[in-house]
Chain A
Amino acid sequence: MLPELGQFALILAMLLAFAQAFFGIAGPARRNERWIAATAPAVAGQFVLTVFAFATLVYAFVHNDFTLRSVAGHSNSALPVYFRVAATWGHHEGSMLFWILVLSIWTVAVAAFSRRLPRAFQARVLGVLGVLSAGFLLFTLATSNPFERLDRLLPDGVDLNPVLQDFALTIHPPMLYVGYVGFSVAFAFACAAMLEGKLDQTWARWTRPWTTVAWMFLTVGIALGSWWAYYELGWGGWWAWDPVENAILMPWLLGTALIHSLAVTDKRGLFKSWTLLLAIGAFSFSLLATFLVRSGVLTSVHSFAADPGRGIFILSFLVVMIGGALALYVWRAPLLRSQAGFDLVSREAFLLYNNILLVIATFVIFGGNMAPFLSDILGLGSLSVGPPYFNPTFLVSMIPLLALVAIGMHARWKRGNLGESRRVLLVSLGTALVLGLAMAIGIYGLHDVRAPLGTLLGFWIILSSLVDPIDRLRRRLSLSAAVVGMTLAHVGLGLLTLGITTTESARVERDVALAPGQSAELGGYRFTFVKTEAAEGPNYDAVRADVQVSRGDRDVALLQPERRTYWVQQTALAEAALGVNFRRDLLATMGESLGKGAWSFRLQVRPLMSLLWLGAALMALGGLCAATDRRYRQAVRSTATDPLASPARAGSAVT
């Protein structure tokens, strides 16, 4: 009974979403005050109904209602309760419903927290979000109904894929979705501004906190996914450039570009059409990528075509939304001329270069992601494009980008020379050079030119971003949340660069066969295989090995990798064990049993791996911090203060 109510609620939610879209867009266009006033209640109603529908699905999963196809296919009564909850969004139908829920939450947030926007503008934003909700609800109800009943009774479900039964993975998709869908707000703001035909600096200021918060969630989501791949897949890889990861990275890169472009539009009223395009692009790539991945089109054309109805629907919806937004852009963007100019070494210019490089990086990844697909539909056969393509091409745009980050932070708005900042830059560059070389060559003995270059850039960004805040603190000046956020995020980027460079250049790994009592040396550590024992989890059996790691005479860690066999699907899964401290990660993964108590192991030592997670965490924290800046909560004035008029502010806040 409950699932039927859930489905009914979903249908009502769809009708309200259509109402929301109609009143929100037609109301302001016809200047009908009553229609405008009807938009917000439609949002509220749609939200309540969607939450109810989602709750009934969670309930069905928690209470093992195997009469539902989605529950029977992706859950099992032996699955621990928190994984059963997570299984709600661990499959196509459920994840679609989750998408709708998240979109609905963002919409309510926009309705609640932007009351000070002009009413007509707010209605337009909600209207555009309504079109999105309506489209998704229609798609879900028509082709991917999570409440579909099975016609026969099953005693138990077929279980959630064991690889997905992991803590990080229960929160990774929600974070990603919140981030992905969050870009819909920037998209809706952009569409609303284009519908209105008016885009001023206040528009950019309204959009900024929403974009930054969405970006923060996306950052956390990507980091969690990477962390999961790192310890769960057991190969020690944290980024494999597989199509799914790339699909996540593209909106993140465009979102990063958007954040910076919005800063310029907010401060100087420049780059308006470019910012609009990025706002459309960031969300379009979220949409496109989610669907390409969801439909399996990237791994194989065949699985996409397996359900052509779904494919055609998705595609039509994409054409309507993205194509519609881009058509609006063709119509409106020519009106957005910027009056102000800027010099080639001004802050605007550096932010523009950074934007261009981020967009190039996005398209490089897009090309690599699409190549196998294109080759397949053109009948050229199936093809893999792997790290040999992505690593060098991505680095080509990232290395100059990192250098520009360090320099750009010290450039002045509008002005054409670096002035007194030149000394700061040279000193920080010199210090970074010494530190970078000392670290790469002195400590880790890395002679490949990329290693010292990476450490140099990492240190430079950190030093360069700390100069101004420290200077202000010394002079006892206050730091705005925006500046703190920017500094945190850039220091995070620097740490990430250091971490990636070091761990990728100085990691060592070895595959060994060990009998109990035997040991292997790796990177100055001795890994001794002590014994194996049987272990049992809530829904799996496991063989657990004790691997004692020592350095010299000192024991440093006891690693307990497992090889699990999940009862229901009878899949074997290696659970890697990690020994982590700040300096290095030690990893042991169990391979095959070799008979007579011997096992194969993959052992790894990865220096400074923790900097990756620390860096990503700081970037996310920086985003959060910047979004809380007081400026975003102040009453909106129609003309923003000219940044040049108040020199105290001139150097602040480009997050």
Chain B
Amino acid sequence: MRVNRFWLPLVGFLVLAGVFFVALKRAPTGGGERLVQSVLIGKPASAFTLPSVLDPAMPVSLADFKGRWVLLNVWATWCVECRAEHQVLLDVQREGKVAIVGLDYKDEDPAANEWLQRLGNPYDAVASDPEGRVALDYGVYGAPENFLIDPNGVIVHKHIGALTSEVWRRDFQSRVDGAS
């Protein structure tokens, strides 16, 4: 038994090297296709009421958007990917097919406000979740993450990582259009 543990570093390293080899071999083109489906799909979206980033006195509640398709976007100013994603969100907002609810994850309101002023505000409402409590209910472990919630308040799709226009059309818009 005593000998076995000396193998551990080597095995760990080789596994890691294997992952890199796979990464090189796959030489991915465009976004990945495979998705690990979240267990939340098909479940009702957990309700929340949080202060708004824009005005802490104004509560933001998911219930207000019942009856509409909602894109719940988890973002933060410290998140590099979110900056690229922001333009896509602005485009989605312009199309006007869904309401976009932002969940500002583990962030500071002044920074978030500055961000929205500078880059434009794509959100119908932005909730401030500095402790990440609500994000916890949604199984968020990083930013950005995106949830598509149908008019009945059920989560129909989850995308981990930045939304691109391609992902939006393929995974989100198709579901919205398909339902109506």
Contact = CB atoms under 8 A, between A and B. Distances in A.
B63 interface: no
Nearest to B36: A380
A384 B83 CA distance: 11
B28 A377 contact: yes
Interface string B119-139: 000000000000010000000
A387 B142 CA distance: 11
Contacts of B79: 384, 386
B108 to A, nearest CB: 11
A112 B120 CA distance: 63
Contacts of B31: 379, 381
B7 A377 contact: no
Interface residues of B, number: 43
A371 interface: yes
B6 A318 contact: no
A377 B35 contact: no
Nearest to B33: A379
B26 to A, nearest CB: 7
Contacts of B27: 305, 308
Contact of B9 (A329, A377, A388): A329
A343 interface: no
B112 interface: no
Nearest to B132: A388
A116 B50 CA distance: 70
B10 interface: yes
Interface stretch (A319-327, A429-437, A450-458): A319-327
A329 to B, nearest CB: 6
Nearest to A241: B78
Contacts of B105: 388
B76 interface: yes
Contact of A315 (B2, B21, B36, B81): B21
Given A277-B9, A329-B10, A333-B6, A377 B142 contact: no
Nearest to A322: B13
B24 A304 contact: yes
B67 interface: no
B3 A377 contact: no
A315 B10 contact: no
B86 interface: no
Contacts of B110: 511
Given A319-B17, A389-B142, A302 B28 contact: yes
A315 B20 contact: yes
A311 B160 contact: no
Contacts of A384: 78-82, 142-144
Nearest to A368: B142
A376 B76 CA distance: 19
A389 B27 CA distance: 28
B142 A378 contact: no
A385 interface: yes
Contacts of B143: 383-384, 386
Looking at A308, A334, A378, which has the most chain B CB atoms within 10 Å of its CB? A378
Nearest to A330: B6
A497 interface: no
B32 interface: yes
A11 to B, nearest CB: 27
Contacts of B81: 382-384
A273 B6 contact: yes
A44 interface: no
Nearest to A371: B142
B6 A377 contact: no
B114 interface: yes
Contact of A326 (B9, B26, B32, B142): B9
Interface string A290-304: 000000010001101
A378 B17 contact: no
A312 interface: yes
B10 A330 contact: yes
A304 B160 contact: no
B36 A378 contact: yes
Contacts of B14: 319, 323
B32 to A, nearest CB: 2
A307 B81 CA distance: 23
B161 A381 contact: yes
Nearest to A327: B10
Interface string B11-26: 0011001011111101
A371 B19 CA distance: 12
A581 interface: no
B24 A311 contact: yes
A374 interface: yes
Contact of B161 (A277, A326, A334, A383): A383
A373 B24 CA distance: 12
A304 B80 CA distance: 19
Contact of A374 (B13, B19, B26, B35): B19
A384 to B, nearest CB: 4
B28 A381 contact: no
Looking at A326, A334, A511, which has the most chain B CB atoms within 10 Å of its CB? A326
A390 to B, nearest CB: 10
Interface string A322-355: 1100110110011000000000000000000000
A387 B160 contact: no
B24 A387 contact: no
A326 B13 contact: yes
Interface in B30-76: 31-36, 76
B31 to A, nearest CB: 7
B153 to A, nearest CB: 24
B159 A301 contact: no
A59 B119 CA distance: 45
A315 B159 contact: no
Contact of A377 (B26, B33, B76, B82): B26
Contacts of A372: 142
A380 B10 contact: no
B114 A511 contact: yes
A385 B32 CA distance: 19
Contacts of B6: 273, 329-330, 333-334
Contacts of A641: none
A593 interface: no
A318 B24 CA distance: 14
A436 to B, nearest CB: 26
Nearest to A336: B6
A492 B13 CA distance: 34
Contacts of B80: 384, 386
A364 to B, nearest CB: 14
14 contacts: A323-B17, A329-B10, A330-B10, A333-B6, A334-B3, A375-B142, A378-B32, A379-B31, A381-B167, A383-B81, A384-B143, A386-B78, A386-B79, A386-B143
Interface of B: 2-3, 6-7, 9-10, 13-14, 17, 19-24, 26-28, 31-36, 76, 78-82, 105-106, 110, 114, 132, 142-144, 159-162, 167
Given A371-B142, A375-B160, A377-B32, 11 more contacts: A323-B14, A326-B9, A326-B10, A334-B6, A379-B32, A379-B35, A381-B160, A382-B162, A384-B79, A384-B143, A385-B142
Interface of A: 273, 277, 280-281, 284, 297, 301-302, 304-305, 308, 311-312, 315, 318-319, 322-323, 326-327, 329-330, 333-334, 371-389, 511
**Closest 6 pairs (CB-CB, A-B):** A381-B161, A379-B32, A388-B106, A326-B10, A379-B34, A305-B27
